[in-house]
Amino acid sequence: MLAAALVFAPADAQFAYKTAKTIVDDFTPRDAGTPQAVRAANHILDVVSSTGADARLDRFQAATPKGSKWFVNVESEYISSRDAGWIVLVSHFDTKPDVGCPGANDGASTSGLLVSLAGVLFTQRPRDVNVLMIWTDGEECMSEYGENDGLWGSRHAAEKLKDSGRKVTGVVCLDMLGDKDLNVKIPRNTSPGFRRGVLKLAKAIGLGDKVFASDELVKDDHVPFLSAGFKAIDLIDFEYGSAPGANDYWHTPQDMMDKVSEESLLVAGRLAVAIIDGLTR
């Protein structure tokens, strides 16, 4: 018998929003490599643990344009069986340095979403799937994305995952999905078959008007996983601004919780659990 489909409910979206708001209110700024980022990571650890799910910190050191720095990812696993494949969900929690950005939508919204999803998995106990959730530090670059600038947490996580030899079914990066005017784009630099499958799933659950394929190339936390040989996609709303098609709230002080909604997090959560279910059937 198949396990029952996962359900992401309005109460789960409310929890995601509340978590995101606390991250913004209490841990801004949380630039990578700073004590405040460590405090934010510890808070995420505590909130995930409060759902009953297991969580841990993964500290690592990496070169940056400002010298070697310490970073800290947060990880949580839901393990169904030793033989099941792994689905990996990724969200960054850090803020862009030197721009005064609270990162409400860009980082906090999907970090709150992952915390809520951890509780959903722990409570609903799906079968035949293992899920690894990673809250990455250092997604934002200090100057310009490159080998030693930006995507530090996801590069570290991708290398670690590859070394582990786990059977990974797919990696899903979630970013900027709290926008009140939500339009989820899947950029061109993703795994083509995976993208087609997610678009089909979105239509099947009534979200075909919210999820689209994009011709854009986006540098986000999915890229190191693609480079490591994993099937990966990016779910992102890169139109986050004062007018349709604009992105003028991104990396500015305007990226505040008044631009984020529980309704959008509910859509993103429903899509995420549909992907988890869809990859196991």
Centre a 10 Å sphere on the Cβ of residue 56 and count the other Cβ atoms it contains: 12
Percent of the chain with pLDDT over 70: 98
What is the tally of helices (H) and strands (E) in the chain?
A: 7, 8
Percent of the chain with pLDDT over 90: 94
3 — pLDDT class (breaks 50, 70, 90):
low
Q: Looking at domain 10-279, does it have CATH number 3.40.630.10?
A: yes
What ranges do the domains of the chain cover? 10-279
Task: Look over the chain and give the mean of its residue pLDDT values, rounded to a whole number.
Answer: 96
Question: pTM value?
Answer: 0.97
Residue 157 has pLDDT above 50, yes or no: yes
pLDDT for residue 36: 97
Tokens 């359900």 correspond to 7
Residue 189 has pLDDT above 90, yes or no: yes
pLDDT in tens, 50-98: 999 999 999 999 999 999 999 999 999 999 998 999 999 999 999 999 9
Residue by residue, DSSP assigns 152-201 as: HHHHHHHHHHHHHT--EEEEEEEES--BSS--EEE-SSS-HHHHHHHHHH
> CA-CA distance, 56 to 46, in Å (whole number)?
9
Tell me 5's DSSP state. P
pLDDT for residue 1: 40
Residue 16 has pLDDT above 90, yes or no: yes
